[in-house]
Structure 1
Amino acid sequence: MINGLELYKTKWNIQTANDIKPGLEAVTSALAELNNPHRSGKFVHIAGTNGKGSTAALLGAILREHGWTVGHFYSPAIVDVHDQIQLDGQAIPEAELHSIMERLAALETALTDFELLTVAAFVFFKQQAPDIAIIEAGMGGLLDSTNVINPEVAIIPTIAMEHTNFLGDTMEEIARHKAGIIKKWKPVIVGDVPEEAWNVIEQTANRLHSDLIRPKQPVKVEMKLKGPHQLHNARLAWEAAKELLLLDFDEQKAEQALSEATIPNRFEEVVPNVFFDGAHNPASTEALVETIRQQLPDKKIHIVMGLLKDKDYISILRKLETVGDRFTFLEFDNERAMPAEKLFEENQCKIKTIQNGYDILPVLNENEATIVTGSLYLLTDIRKRNWSYFKKG
């Protein structure tokens, strides 16, 4: 479910499927009907388990600091469909999206919701002609609807077990999907990935004559973004910017951009002692736990969470239980949401409760920090409902 998309589909009588259908046939056909807008302009393509959105945002910040105009296609939304398509950090205006959707209503090719939004993004970037558009894959890479571009640089921040019903149940199979974004003669920048995944990526890069870049050291910049994983994401963005800017790359400008960057839902302190973090799988939860220990060593930790049904909830709970002093499990409005009761029953913390909806607010306590986590869709829902307590929603 893409928040806010239904309004446009209803207005322009666009029929789509809300399910997931990996493959490029439909999106390629639809783009051909529109004279292939994705073949204009320059792109960066990012696929991976975690770190995609942060790396994309950090790279965009560096490039804007150098004077470039930058488009972004994110997944999922922060609030609604508009912030998934951005130009220089600003969400696509409603009038602009209406104009694009009016064109897409005439398409003969049937699309899923995500394919529709992908096509809309390419039309928008064709119209706006940014210096670069940074595209985040929705799921996997090889068969993801975004994988119709020939990017200047590909980035794979991390790889872990995920979406096994679509991507395969081995690390090698999942890595093969992620490596699908690598294109002939174009460099690929790879973060910390397991050896099995690295071997697949290396083989793919060699076959395609793609320069394989693996940053070793984190950047030495004081960042507003917290957690060692963000320093790692920053290094990937730094290397990608060097590949794009070449002799125009300015270290001082890059450091300035990284030091000032902020990203919603990445250990974001929305009000004092209340943090939003989109950790939704064991790997990103491990990064969150490490950040909590590093940033909040003297506080009690209240975990407020909801998860989707296809997540490894046992591993996620076990990791969060190492730092959580009490838990609140949310029933949230998503057809894929896991029942809060199931999380409650499995949780081993002595202090825990179930909350139906968002009417119970965290108690202000300077000795306790509240971490709202488990699903980016949950955080999106909270912001969409404009939960007044979270003033930045």
Structure 2
Amino acid sequence: MINGLDSYKKKWALPSDPAIKPGLETITAALAELGDPHKTGKFVHIAGTNGKGSTAAFLTSILREHGHSVGNFFSPAIEDLHDQIQIDGVPVSPEDLDRVMEKLTGIKTPLTDFELLTAAAFLVFQDKAPDYAIIEAGMGGRFDSTNVIDPEIAIIPSIALEHVNFLGDSLEKIALHKSGIIKKWKPVVVGPLPPEASKVVEETARSLHAEVIRPAGPLEIELKLKGSHQKWNAALADEAAKELLGLAYDAEKACKALAGASIPFRFEEIFPDVILDGAHNAASIQALADTVTTCYPDRPIHIVMGLLKDKDYIAILRQLETFGTRFTFVDFENKRALPAEILFSENRCKIKTIVKSCDILPVHKHKEVTIVTGSLYLLSKLKRDDYRIFQNLRR
């Protein structure tokens, strides 16, 4: 489900399929009909289980601090499809996207919703001509519709178990998908991966004569984005910037850019002691746990959450229970949403409740920190439609 896409599909009679269908044949054929817009410009490709959005935000900030214009294609949306396609941090306007969607009416190749949006992003970048376009893979990498580009550099921040029904049930299988974004003779910047995944990435890179670049460690600078994992993501972005900018790279500008970079739903404190974090799998929940226990070692923690059905909710609950003192589970409108009742019944915490996303969430207690986490679809809906929830949370 891509929020906001249906209105364009209806207006221009675009018959795209909402199903997930990994593969490159149809998107390649459709782009050929459009004149191959993905073959124009300089691209950066990012694939990984976690850290894609943050790494993209860090790299975007560095490149812009050096005077370059930057396009971004993020996945999934924060609020709707417009913020998935950005130029210099500004979401594509409805007017610009409407013109692009009109162009897509002429293609004969049947596409999925995500392929349609991918094609739209390439048309926007062709029209706006940013110096660089940073493309985030939607799922996996090798057979993701974004993997039609020949990027200047690839980045793989992390690899963990996810989307096992599509990507496979082992780190090796998932790494094979992620490493599919590596291109011949082009460098790849790699984060701290599990040994099994690292081996696959290295073998793939070797077969393509691609240099593997690993940061010496996390950057030890103060960042607006909280958590030790963000210092790793900053290091990845910094290494990528050095490769892209060459002799023009300025360390002072890079540090300034990294320190000021931000992205929604990455430990985002929207009100005092009310934090939104889009952690939705075991690896990102662990990073959230580390950040919470570091920032709030002596505070009671109220967890507000909702998840999609394809997540390992049992493992996620067990991790959250190590630091959460009470839980609120949210039912939200999405075909892939896991019923809150399931989370409620499996949760071992004694203090817990269920609410609908349209309800006012329980007012948090004195000295309590509220962490709203899980699906980005939930967080974006709450922030977009139910802002009054957060206003009540701070009372």
1:125-274 paired onto structure 2 within 5 Å: 125-274=125-274
What amino acid sits opposite 1:211 in the alignment?
A: E
For 2:94, the equivalent position in structure 1 comes to 94
The Cα shift of 1:337 comes to 0.5
Separation of aligned partners in 2, 1:362 and 1:245? 49
For 1:354, the equivalent position in structure 2 comes to 354
Deviation readout 1:183-215 (Å, 9 max, x if unpaired): 000000000111111111111111100010111
Deviation readout 1:222-247 (Å, 9 max, x if unpaired): 11111000001000000000000010
What amino acid sits opposite 1:131 in the alignment?
A: D
Separation of aligned partners in 2, 1:105 and 1:319? 47
For 2:289, the equivalent position in structure 1 comes to 289
Contact 2:355 2:361 in 1 (8 A): no
Contact 1:80 1:384 in 2 (8 A): no
1:4-153 paired onto structure 2 within 5 Å: 4-153=4-153
Note the residue ranges of structure 1 that are not aligned, 5 or more in a row: none
The Cα shift of 1:216 comes to 2.4
Separation of aligned partners in 1, 2:252 and 2:373? 34
What amino acid sits opposite 1:19 in the alignment?
A: A
Contact 2:135 2:146 in 1 (8 A): yes
Contact 1:303 1:372 in 2 (8 A): yes
Separation of aligned partners in 2, 1:365 and 1:225? 26
Separation of aligned partners in 2, 1:291 and 1:362? 24
Is 1:374 aligned to residue 356 of structure 2?
no
For 1:323, the equivalent position in structure 2 comes to 323
What amino acid sits opposite 1:209 in the alignment?
A: H
Separation of aligned partners in 1, 2:22 and 2:68? 33
Separation of aligned partners in 2, 1:212 and 1:357? 44
What amino acid sits opposite 2:61 in the alignment?
A: A
SS of 1:388's partner is helix
SS of 2:67's partner is coil
Note the residue ranges of structure 2 that are not aligned, 5 or more in a row: none
Is 1:363 aligned to residue 327 of structure 2?
no
Contact 1:42 1:152 in 2 (8 A): yes
Deviation readout 1:271-294 (Å, 9 max, x if unpaired): 111100000000000000000001
Deviation readout 1:45-93 (Å, 9 max, x if unpaired): 0000000000001100010000010000000001101000000000000
For 1:275, the equivalent position in structure 2 comes to 275
Contact 1:358 1:387 in 2 (8 A): no
The Cα shift of 1:361 comes to 2.7
Deviation readout 1:251-299 (Å, 9 max, x if unpaired): 1001001111111000000111110000000000000000000111222
Separation of aligned partners in 1, 2:38 and 2:44? 12
The Cα shift of 1:300 comes to 1.0
Separation of aligned partners in 2, 1:194 and 1:251? 30
For 2:300, the equivalent position in structure 1 comes to 300
Contact 1:179 1:200 in 2 (8 A): yes
Separation of aligned partners in 2, 1:170 and 1:217? 26
Contact 2:357 2:382 in 1 (8 A): no
Aligned-pair RMSD on alpha carbons?
Answer: 1.0
Separation of aligned partners in 2, 1:8 and 1:385? 21
Separation of aligned partners in 2, 1:249 and 1:387? 41
Separation of aligned partners in 2, 1:377 and 1:244? 33
Aligned pairs, number: 391
